[in-house]
Amino acid sequence: MALTQDKNIKEKIDSLTGLPDGYTPSMESKWELLQTGNTRPAKRQYLYYAAVLLLLLIPAWLMMNKKNENISSVRKNIPATNKIAATDKINIGKTSVTEEAAKRNIKANHYYSQNTPSIQNLKTNAVVEAPKKEIVPMTETEISRNIIIADSIPHPMIVNVEHSKKHKKRYVEMDFDDGEVHTDKRNDMVQNPVFKFNISFGMASKNAGNEPSIFQIKKTF
């Protein structure tokens, strides 16, 4: 009996061809929706791809970060000082400030400001240590004032330079065109000169009468 009943119900349900009362969907809009695939699973699929992309980007970002860390660690190893090229040689006249010297000084200052210490270090191996402070380009009047102050210093300034890679000491020569560079020892010698006289006597040769006698003086400074 149940089988007959079920068969009847099945036939009746399958015979339903129309939509339920009150339900009138727009076939065009439904078709468009199907065409664009704008259904819930599609959205989820989009989210899935986004998640996969994110998972791929994270390791890439980490790798990039690691590379940057390596570069920064190299930078950290270098002493944090303002550096300039050791090859720069600044010549400034002692008594009078020449235009050439002033220009060179401006160029040198410009060079400091243009190149940050880290970048500069990457560009050149030869570096000069300078005090840790921000370097601001000087005007010409400032340069001349500085030079006058420098003139008042009795001895020329010698800046000790440490080579970052080769560990060789280099110097920036501050030549004030004042002749020789005197060290303390030399100054002592100038102030208290010591003369040594060495007189030697020798046997007169056969031709001594014809040759003049030699009187040798050896001086040692």
* Contacting positions for other proteins (CB under 8 A): 1-2, 4-6, 8-10, 12-20, 23, 25, 27, 30-31, 33-35, 37, 39-41
Q: Which is nearer to other proteins, 41 or 154 (CB)?
A: 41
Q: Which is nearer to other proteins, 31 or 48 (CB)?
A: 31
Angle at 44 between CA 42 and CA 50, to 5 degrees: 105
- In whole angstroms, how close is the CB of 5 to other proteins at the nearest point? 5
- In whole angstroms, how close is the CB of 49 to other proteins at the nearest point? 17
Q: What tokens were used for 12?
A: 């009746």
Are 119 and 74 in contact by the 8 Å Cβ rule? The answer is: no
Q: Which is nearer to other proteins, 22 or 179 (CB)?
A: 22
Are 148 and 176 in contact by the 8 Å Cβ rule? The answer is: no
- In whole angstroms, how close is the CB of 54 to other proteins at the nearest point? 25
Backbone angles phi, psi at 16, to 5 degrees: -70, 115
Pairwise CA distance, residues 107 & 138, whole Å: 10
- In whole angstroms, how close is the CB of 51 to other proteins at the nearest point? 20
Q: Which is nearer to other proteins, 28 or 211 (CB)?
A: 28
Q: What tokens were used for 13?
A: 């349900």
- In whole angstroms, how close is the CB of 29 to other proteins at the nearest point? 11
Q: Which is nearer to other proteins, 9 or 62 (CB)?
A: 9
Pairwise CA distance, residues 44 & 53, whole Å: 14
187-to-47, 160, 221 alpha-carbon distances in Å: 84, 22, 11
